[in-house]
Structure 1
Amino acid sequence: MDAESVPRREVVTGRPHTPGGDRPAPRHDRPTDAELPFHIGMLIRRQLRAALTATALLAALLGLLPVLLRILPLADGAPRVPLAVWLLLGVAPYPALLAIGAWYVRRAERNETDPLAPTPAERP
């Protein structure tokens, strides 16, 4: 066989490209310039709602601590503070604080990555 009759080897890395064929149509999820102030306002309202919800949960959690301390049967005449008080004040709030903080971060990131929310470059 001479060099001219040997077929050329090709490396195939994907489907063959067909011009104008089966490409999906581009999505136009970004707001137009006229809609941008509305979407920015919507993003601000969603972030404010998430922040107020997290603040209300934290206030309720920390506001209930004095009530729980009042309900606990403490020895009024004892000079030592019971272990339950130390556990209630020093340990119990932190898992709830971490959970509320993680929820808020996930919510804020979801608000920011919403396809209809404006990107930072599009904000005025």
Structure 2
Amino acid sequence: MGEESVPRREVVTGRPSPDGGTTAPRPVPLPHPRSDLGVGQLMQRQLRAGLVALALLGTPLGLLPVLLRILPLADAAPRVPLAAWIALGVAPYPVLLAIGAWYVRRAERNETDTAAPTEHP
């Protein structure tokens, strides 16, 4: 068993050049300045949609205790009227689903409206 030649290890940091060395790595392309404006506009639109959804959710749910105070529950016997069960157990859920669906559609529309102009350089 003689000496076996072991290939020398090389560290490759770029494409090999024709002369045997390696070329410098490609520079990372910088983002187009117009794309930063699109991101800022998208953030503003998403924030606005989120605040509108929060207001739409907070107003009815915040007024729910006022509604329950107005209902004749304080003077009632241990029986709770049907209106209270409807106000607490049924009415909020369709409203929550409708506001959530509106928010998702609005957020997706904001993204497509903002992404469309920046895709064409």
Cα-to-partner distance string for 1:75-114 (whole Å, 9 max, x where unaligned): 5250121121111000011111111011001100101111
Deviation string 1:4-50 (CA, Å, 9 cap, x unpaired) is xxxxxxxxxxxxxxxxxxxxxxxxxxxx8121111100001100110
The structure with the largest alpha-carbon Rg is 2
CA positional deviation for 1:71:
1.2
Distance, in Å, in 2 between the alignment partners of 1:64 and 1:56 is 12
1:76 corresponds to: 75
Could you tell me which runs of 5 or more consecutive residues in structure 1 were left unpaired when the two chains were aligned: 1-31, 120-124
| Aligned residue pair count | 87
Query: Comparing 68-77 with 56-65, which one deviates more in the overlay?
Result: 68-77
TM-score w.r.t. the length of structure 1 is: 0.64
Aligned pairs for 1:49-88 (under 5 A) are: 49-74=48-73, 76-88=75-87
Distance 1:107 1:61 in 2: 21
Task: Please give the alpha-carbon distance, in whole angstroms, between the structure 2 residues aligned to 1:95 and 1:40.
Answer: 33
What residue is the counterpart of 2:89 in the other structure? 90
- Give the counterpart letter for 2:71 in structure 1: L
Report what 1:37 is aligned to. Answer: 36
Higher helix share: 2
TM-score in terms of structure 2 length? 0.66
Structure 2 spans left out of the alignment, 5+ residues: 1-30
Structure 1 residue 73, shift from structure 2 partner: 2.0
Equivalent runs, 1:91-106 vs 2, <5 Å? 91-106=90-105
Following superposition, which runs of at least 4 residues in structure 1 exceed 4 angstroms of deviation? none
User: How far apart are the structure 2 equivalents of 1:77 and 1:107?
Assistant: 44
